[in-house]
């Protein structure tokens, strides 16, 4: 399928499906670039399609599951409708021949049941893929996450920076392997790559109390057997009067532009 489309990347749908509480479908559609294709599970079938196709099906379908790379094939066998996380999208990209995947907030290592070691990390380490993301999520151990990637053969890059310093909040700086200018996006060697494209500091949330409240909401969801991140995102959205949803959507779109400009060289 990848060879039949101009795009060399696909975009995850977990954020668009479950994480943007103050952004409606029309707003997403109006902002979304035509070149950026998404992937989701539709009655157990891998689908790569446009934003219009995704939103139309999303709005018509009530029962969606959140699927990662460990549960994707189980969802396919069960014939479910599924929003796909970064790791699930990596599996789809591997199976369909896309060399690049786009996400926003990345999973990692942290005090979260589903993310003591989120499968986003092993999926990236095990699959020759380039993942464009914004940052590991703020409630995670970002230094520990980056360190795990380095120890497991993943190269890390920052667009315009050599550091990762948080997702929707500004945090401590964690050293990446290399900073990249936009011109250097054409010099990436095919392999296990993570390219982080940070949200500008002036757009990020300033009140760190919001993060503590989001963590509390996520933990409560875990106790009720529900996914952590949608609950945490909902609380951030409420506290920031929708700003957290807007900047995450803008960041995901910005990451598609980075992905569009990447030209991968063979690994010799």
The predicted-structure confidence for 142-175, as pLDDT tens digits, reads as follows 999 999 999 999 999 999 999 999 999 999 999 9
Q: What is the residue range of 218's domain?
A: 2-263
**Residue 4's pLDDT band (boundaries 50, 70, 90)?**
very low
| Torsion of Cα atoms, 178 then 192 then 38 then 117, to 10° | -90
Answer whether residue 268 is part of any domain.
no
Chain segment 171-214, per-residue pLDDT in tens: 999 999 999 998 898 889 999 999 999 999 999 999 999 999 99
Instruction: Please give the pLDDT value at position 108.
Output: 93
Token output for 187: 């010099």
Answer whether residue 72 is part of any domain.
yes
Q: What is the count of structural domains for the chain? A: 1
What is the value of pTM for the model shown? 0.94
Answer whether residue 137 is part of any domain.
yes
Answer whether residue 221 is part of any domain.
yes
Percent of the chain with pLDDT over 70: 96
- State the CB neighbour count (10 A cutoff) for residue 140: 21
Residue 23 has pLDDT above 70, yes or no: yes
| CB 22 within 8 Å of CB 237 | yes
260 to each of 112, 201, 254, how far by Cα in Å? 32, 24, 10
- What CATH number is given to the structural domain containing 144? 3.40.1790.10
For residues 156 and 228, give the distance between their C-alpha atoms in angstroms, rounded to a whole number: 26
């Amino acid at each position: 399928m990848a060879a039949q489309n101009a795009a060399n990347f696909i975009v995850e749908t977990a954020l668009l499906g479950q994480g943007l509480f103050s952004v409606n479908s029309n707003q997403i559609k109006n902002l979304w670039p035509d070149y950026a294709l998404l992937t989701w599970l539709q009655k157990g079938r891998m689908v790569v399609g446009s934003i219009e196709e995704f939103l139309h099906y999303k709005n018509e379908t009530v029962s969606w599951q959140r699927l990662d790379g460990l549960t994707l094939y189980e969802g396919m066998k069960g014939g479910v409708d599924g929003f796909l996380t970064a790791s699930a999208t990596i599996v789809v990209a591997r199976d369909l021949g896309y060399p690049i995947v786009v996400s926003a907030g990345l999973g990692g290592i942290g005090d979260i049941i589903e993310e003591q070691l989120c499968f986003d990390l092993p999926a990236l380490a095990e699959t020759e893929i380039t993942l464009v993301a914004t940052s590991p999520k703020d409630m995670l151990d970002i230094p520990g996450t980056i360190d795990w990637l380095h120890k497991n053969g993943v190269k890390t890059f920052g667009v315009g920076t050599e550091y990762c310093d948080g997702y929707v909040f500004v945090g401590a700086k964690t050293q990446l392997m290399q900073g990249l200018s936009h011109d250097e996006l054409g010099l990436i060697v095919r392999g296990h790559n993570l390219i982080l494209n940070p949200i500008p500091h002036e757009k990020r949330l300033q009140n760190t109390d919001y993060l503590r409240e989001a963590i509390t909401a996520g933990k409560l969801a875990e106790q009720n057997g529900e996914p952590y991140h949608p609950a945490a995102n909902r609380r951030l959205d409420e506290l920031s009067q929708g700003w957290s949803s807007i900047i995450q959507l803008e960041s995901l779109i910005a990451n598609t532009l980075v992905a569009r400009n990447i030209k991968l060289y063979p690994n010799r």
